[in-house]
């Protein structure tokens, strides 16, 4: 069982500098657990303590964003290629400010999906946070 | 320090102006390890927001693969702030995931002038750096000799070979 995993620059400290590593698993969750057994700490950079895929990374299976394939439950097969990229995002307002200004509960919920510090205490799934964040990004303006 | 061609800066500013008041974002790719931004790639702001930007994940995959195929990396990641200064927000810092990139910010809050600043963002620490804008086609090492070419006529006379 070999699944090729492409590692972005920012996470290569966990792979001894390797750009591509191999792992196995029936789901993305299994694969990340397998990788973590050899590249300790990698999983924690991708999965929140609440057990959801982190908001700050994009993970793709072949050509698909795993957010559309069931996130951590995405099914994998031998020969699949998994690509990890840091999400590129940001903007003028901190989400706390956006929440205060807009008064939307959606924006407040998005804080837990966006702030690194708050991610640990977040009970929201990454998929929910993504949806909420996109709405709040529109309404906050 | 970020050294970048004027033509690329002009294209970034034009993109930011075009999308104003929404935030604009994009990448300038360059050869791996060169620290030289050469290929401007405007990206869609999937958030289409005045206060937030986000690369579309599928467009990002395509562009990152293309860079990989061409032995390029993201040298500059830019976005605009449309009502505030060109300084990284806490959101920018929280998301910054390319420690090797120059994070270029353009503020379009003034209609006639742009504020352009560049930052390194590594492990949550923001460090501003100078931006050197190079005129098109001029090798950075040739800038100085170009300057000499503008010096008093006596220098030209000596160089003329008479």
Instruction: Tell me the DSSP string of chain A.
Output: --EEEE--GGGGGGTTT-SEEEE--SBHHHHHHHHHHHSTTHHHHHB-TTSSB-TTEEEEETTEEGGGTTGGG-B--TT-EEEEEE--EE-SS-HHHHHHHH--HHHHHHHHHH-HHHHTT--S-HHHHHHHHHHHHHHH-
Q: B54: distance to nearest CA of chain A, Å? A: 4
Average pLDDT over residues B89-95: 88
Average pLDDT over residues A110-125: 38
Taking Cα atoms as reference points, which of A52, A51, A42, A49 lies closest to residue A132? A52
pLDDT at A101 over 50: no
Tell me which residue in A56, A93, A96 faces B97 most closely, judged by beta carbons: A56
Taking Cα atoms as reference points, which of B116, B121, B142, B98 lies closest to residue B12? B116
* CATH code of B53's domain: 3.40.140.10
Average pLDDT over residues A51-62: 90
A vs B, Cβ pairs < 8 A, gives 119
What proportion of chain A, given as a percentage, has pLDDT over 90?
50
Looking only at the bridges linking them, the beta strands covering B53-54 and B39-43 are unpaired
pLDDT of residue A22: 94
Write the CB contacts of B19 (distance below 8 Å, at least 6 apart in sequence): B45, B80
Distance, CA of A22 to CA of B83 (rounded, Å): 45
Same domain, A107 and A133: yes
Chain A CB contacts of B20 under 8 Å are: none
Place A94 in a pLDDT band, splitting at 50, 70 and 90: low
Average pLDDT over residues A18-27: 93
Chain B CB contacts of A58 under 8 Å are: 57, 60-61
Contact A92 B60 (CB under 8 A): no
Q: What is the 3-state secondary structure (H, E, C) of B35-78?
A: CCCCEEEEECECCCCCCCEEECHHHHHHHHHHHHHCCEEEEEEE
| Mutant choice from A62, A89, A96, A122 vs B, greatest count of B C-beta within 10 A | A89
Same domain, A7 and A71: yes
pLDDT of residue B103: 96
The residue count of chain B comes to 162
Q: A117: distance to nearest CA of chain B, Å? A: 9
Place B147 in a pLDDT band, splitting at 50, 70 and 90: very low
Model's pTM, two decimal places? 0.73
Its domain, for residue B63, covers 2-159
Last residue in a domain, options A45, A68, A86: A86
Distance, CA of A116 to CA of A137 (rounded, Å): 17
> Which residues are paired to A82 by β-bridges?
A5, A61
Q: Which has more pLDDT, B55 or B145?
A: B55
Write the CB contacts of B147 (distance below 8 Å, at least 6 apart in sequence): none
Question: Mean pLDDT, chain B, as a whole number?
Answer: 85
* CATH code of A78's domain: 3.10.20.30
- Contact assessment for residue B45 and residue B71, using Cβ atoms and an 8 Å cutoff: no
Place B94 in a pLDDT band, splitting at 50, 70 and 90: confident
pLDDT of residue B160: 40
pLDDT of residue A9: 86
Same domain, A76 and A119: no
pLDDT of residue A141: 35
Same domain, A81 and A115: no
Q: Which has more pLDDT, A105 or A91?
A: A91
Q: A91: distance to nearest CA of chain B, Å? A: 4
Q: To which H or E segment does residue B157 belong? A: helix B153-159
Same domain, A79 and A101: no
pLDDT of residue B127: 95
pLDDT (tens digit per residue) in B20-35: 999 999 999 999 999 9
Q: Which has more pLDDT, A125 or B126?
A: B126
Where is mean pLDDT largest: A15-24, B87-96, B146-155? A15-24
Same domain, A20 and A71: yes
Q: Which has more pLDDT, B91 or A61?
A: A61
Write the CB contacts of A120 (distance below 8 Å, at least 6 apart in sequence): A48, A49
Average pLDDT over residues A129-140: 41
- Contact assessment for residue A78 and residue A1, using Cβ atoms and an 8 Å cutoff: yes
Contact A65 B57 (CB under 8 A): yes
Last residue in a domain, options A86, A103, A121: A86
Contact B89 A88 (CB under 8 A): no
Domain count, chain B: 1
Instruction: Tell me the DSSP string of B100-139.
Output: TSEEEEEE--SSS--EEEEEEEETTEEEEE-EEEEPTT--
Looking only at the bridges linking them, the beta strands covering A64-65 and A20-23 are unpaired
Contact B23 A91 (CB under 8 A): yes
Chain A CB contacts of B47 under 8 Å are: 89, 91, 134, 137-138
Domain count, chain A: 2
What proportion of chain A, given as a percentage, has pLDDT over 70?
65
Same domain, A56 and A105: no
Where is mean pLDDT largest: A118-127, A131-140, B118-127, B128-137? B118-127
Residue A108 φ/ψ, nearest 5 degrees: -65, -40
Its domain, for residue A63, covers 3-86
Q: A30: distance to nearest CA of chain B, Å? A: 23
Q: Which has more pLDDT, A92 or B126?
A: B126
| Mutant choice from B23, B35, B47 vs A, greatest count of A C-beta within 10 A | B47
Contact B98 A90 (CB under 8 A): no
């Amino acid at each position: 069982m070999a699944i090729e995993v492409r590692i972005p620059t920012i996470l290569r400290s966990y792979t001894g500098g390797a750009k591509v590593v191999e792992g196995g698993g029936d789901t993305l969750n299994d694969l990340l657990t397998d990788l973590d057994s050899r590249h300790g700490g990698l999983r924690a950079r991708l999965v929140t303590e609440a057990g959801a895929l982190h908001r700050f990374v994009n993970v793709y299976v072949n050509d698909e964003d795993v957010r559309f394939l069931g996130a951590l439950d995405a099914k994998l097969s031998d020969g699949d290629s998994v690509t990890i990229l840091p999400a590129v995002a940001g903007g003028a307002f901190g989400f706390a400010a956006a929440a205060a200004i807009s008064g939307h509960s959606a924006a407040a919920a998005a804080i837990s999906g966006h702030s690194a510090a708050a991610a640990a205490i977040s009970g929201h799934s990454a998929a929910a946070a993504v949806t909420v964040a996109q709405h709040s990004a529109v309404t906050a303006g | 320090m970020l050294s970048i061609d004027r033509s690329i800066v002009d294209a970034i500013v034009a993109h930011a102006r075009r999308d104003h008041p929404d935030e604009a974002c994009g990448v300038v790719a360059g050869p791996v390890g060169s620290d030289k931004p050469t290929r401007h790639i405007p990206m869609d702001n999937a958030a289409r927001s005045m206060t937030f930007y986000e690369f579309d994940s599928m467009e990002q995959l395509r562009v990152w693969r293309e860079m990989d195929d061409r032995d390029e990396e993201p040298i500059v990641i830019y976005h605009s702030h449309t009502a505030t200064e060109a300084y990284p927000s806490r959101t920018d810092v929280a998301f910054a995931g390319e420690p090797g990139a120059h994070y270029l910010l353009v503020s379009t809050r003034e209609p006639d002038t742009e504020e352009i600043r560049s930052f390194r963002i590594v492990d949550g620490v923001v460090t501003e750096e100078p931006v050197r804008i190079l005129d098109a086609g001029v090798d950075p090492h040739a800038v100085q000799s170009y300057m000499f070419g503008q010096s008093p006529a006596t220098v030209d006379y000596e160089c003329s070979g008479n």
